[in-house]
Structure 1
Amino acid sequence: MVNRIEAPYWRRLNWPRIILYGLSTVLVIQLIKTFSVRPSVKDDTHLQLDTTRLVRDFPWYQRQGHPNLSPLQQHPKYITTHLSTQERQTLQENMIKKAREAVAHEFQHIKGIPGSSVYAGKPEAARQFRSLVDCWTTGEWVSVTSQSAHWTMPHFQDPLYGSCDRKFKKTGGVGRRPATNYVWKSKCDASIDLDPGKWCSVLNGRHLMLVGDLIQYQLHELFLDTLRDGPATCFGELNCKDHTVCTSPYRNTRLRYLRNDVLSTRRKMNANHGHPTAEVIEWPFTSATLIRHYPVLILNRAPVIESDESFIKGLIDTLRLIRSSTGANSLIIYRSTGIGHPFCDDATGPLQAPLTDDQQKKLPFGWSEVARRNAIARVIVEAAGGVFVDLAALTDLRPDGHVGGQDCVRYCIPGPLDSWAQILYQVFLGLEGQLE
C-alpha cells in the first residue's frame, strides 16, 4: 500500500508518462492520416500494361507494336471511349448546345474582340477574322528540301527543348534534323515572313501573360526565342518571373508565365492540408493587379479531370471574372489543346491525316476527349470576345519532333512549334490591321 504522504510524489512522477502517451497517440493518428492518402494496391495495379500483347494502334507505330494504352486513363469516369463514333459526335453536339445556352446571356454585352484596335465593337468583322484564323490552322505539312526555304526558330532558352539537336549531332547527323524539314502550308497559303520588330510594334507595350499547363510553358519559350536576342533566366515551370521581350526602339513589353492547369479563379495556392499535390497546379492569376498589368492573356485549359458540364462552368466562371471589370478590354487568345503521341520515338514524319475517332479512343490520359473540349471552349471563348486559335490542329499531325523518350507531349525547338510562332504572329498583326 502506498503511503498517503508519498502519493503526490507518484502523481507527479506519472505526468511525464501521461505526456509521452499523449504524444505517441498524436503521432500514430498522424501516421494513419499520412499513409491513408497513398494509393491502394488496386489503384496501382490498374495502371499496369499488358506487354505480352502488342498492337499497332497508331500510324507512327512503324517499327514494332506496343502495349494497349487504355489502362492509362487517369479519370475513367470522364472518358467516353465506350461510346460509338456516332454517340460521341452526338455528345459533342449536345455539349456545344449547352455551352451556347450557358453563354447566351452571360456575355451578351460583348461585341467583337475587345483588346483589338480593329475588331472591338464590330461583331461581323470579328466573325470574318476568326474564320481567317481558322483557315490559317487548316492545311498540311509539306516537305522542303532547301535549307533556306523556310524560317526556323532560334533556341537559347530551356536546354530541354534543344536536346534533339544535341542528340542529332552526337549520332552523326549533318545539317538540319528531319523534324525541321517540314513547313505548315495552310489552306489560305498566306504566311507572312516573321519579323520580330513588327511583332513588337503591334504589341505596342502591352504586356503578355501566358496561363495554362506545361505546354503553355512552351509558348513562353516560343515568345522568348522569337522576340529576344539572348536567353532569359527562368527557374522552374510554375511561376516564371516576367521577362522583357521588346525594347527600344519599340515600347517596353514584358512577358510572364503562370501555371494554372484548369484556369481556376483560386486566389491562393491549395496547400491540400499540408500535402501539396502536383497532379493539378492552380497558380492564382485572376487578381485585379495581374489582369490590369497584363492586358494580353493567352490561355489554355487542358486536363480532362471533370465532366463536360464542370468544364463549361469553370471556363465561363474564369472568363466572367476577367471580363467583369479590370479585364473588360483585355485581349484574350485561347490555345486549343492537343494530343500527345505515345511511343513518339517511332515517328519519322508528319501524319497525312488526323487520327480517326476509333484511333483517338485508344489514346491515354484523357486525350480521347480533347476534340470535344476544344469545340466547347471555342463557343465560350468567342462569346467572351476572345480569339480561339487551333494550334493543336498543326501539332496533332506531328508525332515526330517531340522531346522524345518519356516526353511525347512537348516538342523540341526548332521544329513543329516554328509554325505556331508564325500563326500567332499573323494573329497579332491581323488584330491590329497590319496584315498587308
Structure 2
Amino acid sequence: MQQFRRFENSARLKQRSHTLIPGGCHTYAKGDDQYPVLAPGFIERGSGCRVWDVDGNQYIEYGMGNRAVGLGHAYPPVLRAVEKALHDGCNFTRPTRIEVECAETFLDLVPGAEMVKFCKDGSHATSGAVRLARAYTGRDLVACCADHPFFSTDDWFIGTTAMNSGIPGTVRGLTVTFRYNDLSSVKELFARHAGKIAALILEPSRVDEPRDGFLHETQRLCRENGALLILDEMITGFRWHLGGAQGSYGIEPDLSTFGKALANGFSVSALAGRREYMRLGGLEHTDRPRVFLLSTTHGAETHSLAAAIATMRTYQAEPVIEHLYRQGEKLREGIETSARRHGLGNHFKIVGRPCCLAYATLDENGQSSQAFRTLFLQETIRHGVLMPSLVVSYSHDDAAVAQTIDAVDKALEVYARALDGGVERFLVGRPSQLVYRRFNQMVDSQ
C-alpha cells in the first residue's frame, strides 16, 4: 500500500504562518481547517495542471486557485504578455492605453454589457454593483440568494452568515435572502418589502440549472418592482460560455460581475452593465448624484490587464470551453463508474456542470459529512491528486484525467471500508470544518 506523503517543511511553515497571519493564509478557503491533517500546507510552484508543494510532492490539481486559473498554471502566452507589460512599468499617474484595450476586449465578449470597470477582486465588484443599484433606485435593501455561498467579504453579505461578528445589526438588517429556483420566495420578498429592494444578486447557476425560466421570471419580477438584477459570474464567467452564463441562458442582466478565470490567476475582476446604470460612476452625467463606484490604486495595473487580454484572446481563438466540458464529462463518467463499483452510488456524488464539477460526500445515513469529505481528500492527496473540487483547466489532458480517476478509485475503496468500519478508523486527525461557523473548535491539528 502506498505510504502517506511527508510534509515536514509544510509543518514548519505552518507554525510560522499562524504566528504572523490570522488563519495562517489570506483566503479562508485555503485554510488548514479546510483540509486534512495529512495535506500539503504550502505550494511551491505550478505548471499546467500540476503543482509541487514545499516538500517536493507533486499533485494534479483541481480547484485551480479557487477556479481563477482557467488555462493552467504559468500558461506561456499569458506569461509572455505579462512580462512584456512589466518592462514598461505597472502603475502610473494617469490611465494607460491598455485599460481601453482591455475594456474593448471584454465588452466584445459580453454583448449585453455596455460599460465595464475593472478592479482586483470579486468582493469589490459585487459591492460596487450593490452600491450602484442602491444609488440608482434610492432604496436600501438588497436581496441575495441564500443557496449561493459567497458574494463578498463586505458587511452587506458577511452579515448574512454565521461569521457576522463585528457587523452592526442595522447593517445586517439591510440584506434579505431568497432561494434559488424558488420563484415564490422572490415574490414573497417583493410583497413583504414593497418598494424597498434595490437589487437581487445571485449566481446564474451553481450546482442546479435554472428551472422553469427562473432567471427570466426573476428578471421580470425585478422590473415590475423597480429593482435591478445583478448576476454574479465570478465562477460561471468564461466557463459556461464565452459570453458568461448569461450568454448560455440568453439573459441580459442590468449589472454583472466577472473575475476568477478572467486573467488566468492574475488579479482582475470586472463590474459590467448597461450604460444607464454604469454612467453614474462617471464624469459626464448631471441628472443624478455622483456614485463613488470603484477606485483602487492597483485596479488597472498594466501587467494584470495584459494577462486578462491574453486570457480572453485565448478563449476566443482556441476551444478552451469545449475542452473544459469534454474533460469534465470524462471525469464524471469515470468517477461515477468507480463509485458504483464500490457500492457508493448513494454516498459519493458528482454534481454540477462538467466545466465546473464538485462532489458531495455522504455518511452511512445519507447525510452530508465533513469527516468523509476529509477522508476522501486525505486519500486522493495520498495518491497524488489535490482536489477540493473537480474544476478542470485547459491544461488537464487525457493522461491527467486517467490518473485522477485511478486515484479516486483507490480513495473510494477506503471510503467504502470506512462506511462499514467507521470513518474514525481511517481518518488521521480531525475532520475539516465549515468556513462559516460562529466559533472555532479546539481540535488537534497535528
TM-score, structure 1 as length reference: 0.30
Q: Larger radius of gyration, structure 1 or 2?
A: 1
TM-score, structure 2 as length reference: 0.30
